[in-house]
Structure 1
Amino acid sequence: MLEPTMSGSDCWWFELGGRQDTIGEDGNTALELRRLVLGVWDYIKNSGRFEADCYTLSWIGSIPGKRESRRMVTDYLLRGEDVLRGSNFEDGAFYGGWYLDVHPAGGMLDADAPNFVQTPVPVYPIPLRCLYNSQVENLLFAGRCIGTEREAFFSTRVMDTCALSGQAAAMLAAACAMWHTVPGQMTKAQVAQLRQQLLREDLFVPGLQADESANLAHEAKLTVTSVHDGRAGAPTGTMSLEEGGFVTFPGVDGTVLLSVTLHTPQTLCGTLYSAPLPNYLCPGKKIREYCWKLPAGHHKLPIQAQAGRFCTLVLEAAPDAELPLCQPLRTGFVCGKKEMPVCGEPMLEYETPESLYGAEQLVNGYIRPWGGANQWCAAPQDPEPCITMQWPQARELEQLRLYLDPELCAERPSSHAAQWQDSHKLTLYREMPAQLARDMIVEISLDGSSWEPVWEQKDNRKRLITVVLPKEQKVQALRIRFTRTWGPRPVGVFALHVV
């Protein structure tokens, strides 16, 4: 249905070809699509419903964008149930997370069918076996033609997942060339080694921990100048619960206190879920239900969290109820509501202060949030946060890798989303992520007392930093000084790796 309130970005459902041979009949399909689009334009221009007297049609694409034409038969075909369950694979190499996004086969000609049906899914791994077929030894696939059954394809077809498949396929090809083998003949040990290399190159694989045996940071005394204490920041406003909402936070053993404000007495109800990664549309395993009968006023609601998981409390609609919000300073804390384009940080704290962001997170084997924030975060008041590693004996070091925080826990839409309806938006990037390290200096000490700068970066925009260290020098200590972030948040670092 075309409505006057729609913008051009709402017309993505101008589709055709699901019941046609989109390879053999490509030209005819393109012409028919153009005819249909011009018919829609005629309706917009002449129906009198759209105030379009002064509108001009400036452009129509000449090549239709194919959602589906070829899918290859590979050693494993990803299934819809794999996507819905987040199935684990021994050769999981990259990930997806888009809905099972089903469009009517007839496109615009299926007038009575909904434009789409979207089933939320968790973040799920995709195996290497979806990238090759052992019968054709040296042929790899990436993008929309990887090996999936049609139901799984509804999720894997999106560009972010296609890009990740390209990185995995490229590294698979490089590994096979180095080992003089082909994908279908790799040993289990080679597959495991390749997965570790994918992690080192910052390709997140759900649930996979890095092998830290070669990380020299484990042999060093690791210290930081400060640690964020996990407490909420200053109050910034409120979020209405008139239509309900959700609150997500890292789980711990103990009680979490959620601040709420009620303007009238009422019963506030919610359901608590847990999952390795937060996802309010697919919140995970149900833990318990809550109903608090409360008078008007400010309250701190006790919630029994679950350690080693992210917890999501889905709150039912509550008129005259609000969630107090705070300055966003903590990774893994987020709240919002259905069809809300902007998420906030809830005024939520642990009954007993928790070390969520200690230095130990830098070497716990996770390079991204999974079951927890997995991040060292400096205290907000620290003017120049610093990580220092000191070895018992001087070591020859080759390389330092830093895995920084570009706010990956917040979903971001296209930069061209200004014309979208609010229900299609999430928070737009209008500036660099506030907690991303902008300026930093790496220094070494040969004797453990005096420091020599060996690398400096200003206006950093990367999330993976690779520093080549001076050769043929035995280093007693190494430190990273963060002199500025891109905003008012303290610097966050997921992992560091030294070889």
Structure 2
Amino acid sequence: MISEAYSSKKRITKTVPLQSDLVVVGGGLSGVCAAITAARSGLKVTLLQDRPVLGGNASSEVRLWSLGATSHMGNNNRWSREGGLINEILLENLKRNKEGNPLIFDTVLLEKVYEEKNITLLLNTAVYDVEKGDDNKIKTATAFCSQNSTTYIASAPLFCDASGDGIIAFMAGASFRMGAETKEEFDEGFAPNLEDYGNLLGHSLYFYTKDIGKPITYTPPSFAIKNAEELPRIKNFQLGDHGCKLWWVEHGGRLDTIHQSEDIKFELWKVVYGIWDYVKNSGKYPEAANLTLEWVGTIPGKRESRRFEGDFMLTQKDIVEQRDYYDSVSFGGWAMDLHPADGIYSKHNSCTQWHGKGVYSIPYRCYYSKNIDNLFLAGRIISASHVAFGSSRVMLTCAHGAQAVGEAAVICKEEGLLPRDIASKEKIEKLQLALNRNGQSIPRLSLEDTDDLTNSANFEASSTLAFTGFAAADDWQTLKFGLAQMVPLKANETYSFEFEVDALEATNLELQLKSSSACTHFTPDVIIDKKEIDLQKGKQKITFTTTKTQAQDHYSFFCLMKNEKIKVRLSDERITGLMTVENKVNKAVSNFGRQDPPAEINVDSFEFWTPERRPKGKNIALKMSTPIPIFKVDNLKNGEVRPNSNGSTNAWVANISDKTPTVDLKWDDKVDIKTIKLFFDCDYDHALETTLMGHPEDVIPFVVADYKIKDGSGNIIKEVTGNYQAINTIELDKAISTDKLTFEFVKKEEHIPVSVFKISVYN
């Protein structure tokens, strides 16, 4: 029994001090990635999350799929899924949860954090105060946990605000912006008209429905709107849509999206229950008789509030022109995606999206406050204009940049630095190298890793695929859209392509060889050569020999233009770094086959050539007159871990008939080895939406599942079975001394050869 006498003095809650190397505020994907990255390198991290689960907008509380540069595979950003830690999380979720259950994704995130012993995780714990050591530094963050009635005072030399609204950055006095800039401030043609379009993006609230197999009635609550049929956006509703497909149920852009967030939520409840009243009781949806509401969100998905100023501010031109900077540490590729402030009540389209031709770099200087010396920024609050924020705000872009924050914190701890110090040209390369070692794939940045022992090794493979085309299968595709085979070709060379078609009647087929105007993207905006061929009815083989050449090494697009009277023969073979794309429509991301924006907004016009998801998206049964040497074993030490737009697959690929291919690394003298890293093909082109949308496999079929590593004496030093991750890091119990490593891989897929992007070895 506990008994305590009356006290005339105010009682205080239990107070617990916490000392760590880094305090991360906010447990969305950004906070999780920053915390885990730092913890894995030995930093003690306090992670404060004001909600009962991790994930933020990706959690089961909100249920938004997490996306980034791949944009539902609806843009021209090939092989652009974010790498590193967030990719590890996505692949883990795919393995356990390919159906997209948001509750399972909660557990994936919780497990990742729980397994890091250097992280102190506090859920249901909201920061409400900060103490500054001086004008420009945070000393402590004070938070209260509603579930255990405990106050925590978290101290650290470094802080990261990943809270979404920027709670500690705001209280610490950091400079910020909220809402849209004028067109003139950064010469941004896409900056909105504030009076008409509005200043802020609103919140969204989702609901799920369930068929219970018998008719069920519905009586709406008294607060539900009674005029749902008059909502301008009700035309977007399709019976069966639920979850984040209802992203257009949005409100709040005319309000204070921080301090009026609860008011916005209640208005969205009114709308959601009013929409369901309309569906159930208007008589216009008789097929909804057996449907009931299974779940309605209680936490709205918030898009926009404060953005804090760093030493650099990302703007529209950085995105449109794919500008690169000396301190690039992350990338984005979602469209510049702005929504009218009036949301569900707006007369405008639900959103306006304009895509760039390729991915853009994000400088490190966006990820720390320019005023508060020990404060990192992560997530949607990074330093960006409103227009650029329209792209950089999406969750996978946020999480990818947060990994850079976590790694930067490690260097700060090791060298006694503050965030701004790492922005120096002398320090930034160390951060970039650390990130690329862990699969960050900073675009168009090639760094030599002088500690990697593979630099002095000779590579030999049991076989290497000399690409001459794809074996034919008994599968044909109608050219409902233009279909293109992507192949890396050399500058100033001509090529010959042979393929088979089946014409339903006499017709003609236009062929084009396209490439890209710049090595910063995969948009096929230049026609290198073209030819029109007359076809007779029936099956026939066609040869297209180019007479003109491209000006630079690049991925090229061998295009069969749209003609629904023609079928083309396909292949069952799928090979790393090679794929087909179509000139098709994906309305979900404002892709209508091409984009032609108004001239005054300064955004490019171009065609979209985008892939189909497996099991579709097969390669063309194409034959080439001469082998193309695009899979050399020396690709394993070039530092790249995915194909890039300069025309390199960056992969070694074995012969498709080689069931147990091997790679040998040989040194002239013995070397001491403690760490081995392998980078496999996890199909960076496939968007791995975390919820609602399912996926065809639980393991990416290109990933090598089983392999052995042997030393120079033939001793097995590591055997791996059932791998499904892109990056395998093997830490040996003790260093070995050897002049040779042999990697023995096992082929698991009949039509997919073994491939590896990179092998690294460290002592």
Question: Aligned residue for 1:357?
Answer: 631
| 1:7 and 2:249 are equivalent in the alignment | no
SS of aligned partner of 1:362: helix
In 2, Cα distance between equivalents of 1:325 and 1:331? 17
Q: 1:33 aligns with which of 243, 246, 268?
A: 268
In 2, Cα distance between equivalents of 1:84 and 1:455? 46
In 2, Cα distance between equivalents of 1:246 and 1:278? 16
Query: Residue type of the partner of 1:403?
Result: F
Question: Aligned residue for 2:705?
Answer: 438
Question: Aligned residue for 2:650?
Answer: 374
Per-residue Cα deviation, 1:109-152 (whole angstroms, up to 9, x for no partner): 10x31122222221121111110123211100111111111111
Question: Aligned residue for 1:272?
Answer: 514
Question: Aligned residue for 1:401?
Answer: 677
CA-atom RMSD in angstroms: 2.3
Cα gap change, 1:482 to 1:218, in 2 (>3 Å): same
Cα drift, residue 388 of structure 1: 0.5
In 2, Cα distance between equivalents of 1:54 and 1:256? 58
Cα drift, residue 108 of structure 1: 0.5
SS of aligned partner of 2:510: strand
Cα drift, residue 354 of structure 1: 1.2
Q: Is the 8 A contact 1:437 1:486 kept in 2?
A: no
Question: Aligned residue for 1:158?
Answer: 394
Cα drift, residue 16 of structure 1: 0.6
Question: Aligned residue for 1:211?
Answer: 448
Q: 1:246 aligns with which of 484, 503, 519?
A: 484
SS of aligned partner of 1:443: strand
SS of aligned partner of 2:388: helix
In 2, Cα distance between equivalents of 1:138 and 1:45? 54
Q: Is the 8 A contact 1:251 1:308 kept in 2?
A: yes
Cα drift, residue 326 of structure 1: 1.1
Cα gap change, 1:228 to 1:57, in 2 (>3 Å): same
SS of aligned partner of 2:255: coil
Q: Is the 8 A contact 2:470 2:623 kept in 1?
A: no
Query: Residue type of the partner of 2:533?
Result: K
Cα drift, residue 455 of structure 1: 1.1
Query: Residue type of the partner of 1:320?
Result: K
| 1:494 and 2:761 are equivalent in the alignment | no
Task: Please list, as runs of the form range in 1=range in 2, the aligned pairs for 1:79-158 lying within 5 A after superposition.
Answer: 79-110=315-346, 112-121=347-356, 122-158=358-394
Q: How many residues align?
A: 482
Question: Aligned residue for 1:477?
Answer: 740
SS of aligned partner of 1:335: strand
Cα gap change, 1:64 to 1:452, in 2 (>3 Å): same
Q: 1:391 aligns with which of 652, 667, 673?
A: 667
Cα gap change, 1:478 to 1:4, in 2 (>3 Å): closer
SS of aligned partner of 2:404: helix
SS of aligned partner of 2:469: coil
Q: Is the 8 A contact 1:266 1:293 kept in 2?
A: yes
In 2, Cα distance between equivalents of 1:310 and 1:262? 27
Task: Please list, as runs of the form range in 1=range in 2, the aligned pairs for 1:312-331 lying within 5 A after superposition.
Answer: 312-313=557-558, 315-331=560-576
| 1:457 and 2:720 are equivalent in the alignment | yes
Question: Aligned residue for 1:299?
Answer: 542
Q: Is the 8 A contact 1:74 1:133 kept in 2?
A: yes
Query: Residue type of the partner of 2:406?
Result: A
Question: Aligned residue for 2:412?
Answer: 176
Query: Residue type of the partner of 1:255?
Result: Y
Cα drift, residue 336 of structure 1: 3.5
Q: Is the 8 A contact 2:640 2:758 kept in 1?
A: yes
SS of aligned partner of 1:459: coil
Cα drift, residue 171 of structure 1: 0.3
Query: Residue type of the partner of 1:496?
Result: I
Percent identical among aligned pairs is 26
| Stretches of structure 1 lacking an aligned partner (at least 5 in a row) | 419-427
Q: Is the 8 A contact 2:329 2:404 kept in 1?
A: yes
Cα gap change, 1:73 to 1:472, in 2 (>3 Å): closer
SS of aligned partner of 1:344: coil
Per-residue Cα deviation, 1:196-254 (whole angstroms, up to 9, x for no partner): 11100111100111314332223222101111122333323222223333332222343
Query: Residue type of the partner of 1:221?
Result: N
Q: 1:257 aligns with which of 469, 492, 497?
A: 497
Question: Aligned residue for 1:189?
Answer: 426
In 2, Cα distance between equivalents of 1:102 and 1:471? 54
Q: Is the 8 A contact 1:442 1:454 kept in 2?
A: yes
Cα drift, residue 473 of structure 1: 3.9
Cα drift, residue 37 of structure 1: 1.1
| 1:334 and 2:579 are equivalent in the alignment | yes
Cα drift, residue 410 of structure 1: 3.2
In 2, Cα distance between equivalents of 1:461 and 1:397? 24
Cα gap change, 1:62 to 1:89, in 2 (>3 Å): same
Query: Residue type of the partner of 2:638?
Result: N
Bigger relative contact order (CA 8 A; separation at least 6)? 2
Query: Residue type of the partner of 1:89?
Result: Y
Q: Which moved more, 1:225-234 or 1:21-30?
A: 225-234
In 1, Cα distance between equivalents of 2:512 and 2:275? 44
Q: Which moved more, 1:302-311 or 1:130-139?
A: 302-311
Question: Aligned residue for 2:596?
Answer: none
Per-residue Cα deviation, 1:355-386 (whole angstroms, up to 9, x for no partner): 11110111122222112210001111112111
Cα drift, residue 347 of structure 1: 2.5
Per-residue Cα deviation, 1:300-345 (whole angstroms, up to 9, x for no partner): 3234564532123555432312332212332222224314554221
| Stretches of structure 2 lacking an aligned partner (at least 5 in a row) | 1-234, 586-611
Cα gap change, 1:76 to 1:227, in 2 (>3 Å): same
Cα gap change, 1:402 to 1:88, in 2 (>3 Å): same
Q: Which moved more, 1:35-44 or 1:326-335?
A: 326-335
Q: Is the 8 A contact 1:208 1:366 kept in 2?
A: no
In 2, Cα distance between equivalents of 1:359 and 1:87? 32
Cα drift, residue 397 of structure 1: 2.0
Q: Is the 8 A contact 2:631 2:649 kept in 1?
A: yes
In 2, Cα distance between equivalents of 1:11 and 1:277? 34
Cα drift, residue 276 of structure 1: 4.3
Per-residue Cα deviation, 1:253-303 (whole angstroms, up to 9, x for no partner): 431516252512214154613254775xxx154243524132233313234
In 2, Cα distance between equivalents of 1:222 and 1:270? 38
In 1, Cα distance between equivalents of 2:559 and 2:471? 24
Cα drift, residue 163 of structure 1: 1.2
SS of aligned partner of 1:214: coil
Query: Residue type of the partner of 1:147?
Result: S
SS of aligned partner of 2:348: coil
